[in-house]
Amino acid sequence: MHEWALAEAVARTVEELVVKGRDVRQVEVVLGELQAVDEGVFELALKELFEEMRREKGIDVQGFKITREKAAFKCQVCGHTWTLEEWPVKEEFREAVHFVPEVVHSHYSCPRCGSRDFEITAGRGVKVRVI
């Protein structure tokens, strides 16, 4: 699906780091728990894009590893923080955030005070770390 777009975003980030003078040999690609991704396809896309960067731009990324970041939430009203594991709506929420992210705040609420004003503090998107 969007694995290639994500992989391209990672490749662009790496390229920017190199342009800024960072020595990027090994990277860790952190995928949020809420980021639906076919890791096999994603890994293949990354391999290909890094190979292309090496060939065309002389940017030599020698290796990468893909890790997952746990999702975390914080209520703006009572300050409660929680993880996906602690949330009874876990599977349902995971699907909602994947297919219709804009409904998340109208359907889910803080498990402690019931406020719908919560933020997702971790577990979304893709990050790149140089290792």
Decide: is 31 part of the binding site for Zn ion (CB under 5 A). no
The SS3 assignment for 118 reads strand
Please select the residue that binds Zn ion; options are 12, 113, 119, 131, rule is CB under 5 A. Answer: 113
Beta carbon of residue 84, minimum distance to Zn ion (angstroms, whole number): 16
Which structure tokens are listed for 56?
Answer: 């065309």
Please, which residue, 103 or 113, has the CB nearer to Zn ion?
Answer: 113
Collect all residues with Cβ–Cβ distance below 8 Å to 42 and sequence separation of at least 6: 3, 6, 7, 31, 66
Distance CA 104, CA 96 (A): 7
Minimum CB distance to Zn ion smaller for 74 or for 127:
74
Is 78 or 96 the residue whose CB approaches Zn ion more closely? 78
76 forms part of the interface with Zn ion (CB under 5 A): no
Residues 6+ apart with CB under 8 A from 114: none
Q: Is 74 in the site for Zn ion (CB under 5 A)?
A: no
Residues that bind Zn ion (CB under 5 A): 75, 77-78, 80, 110, 112-113, 115
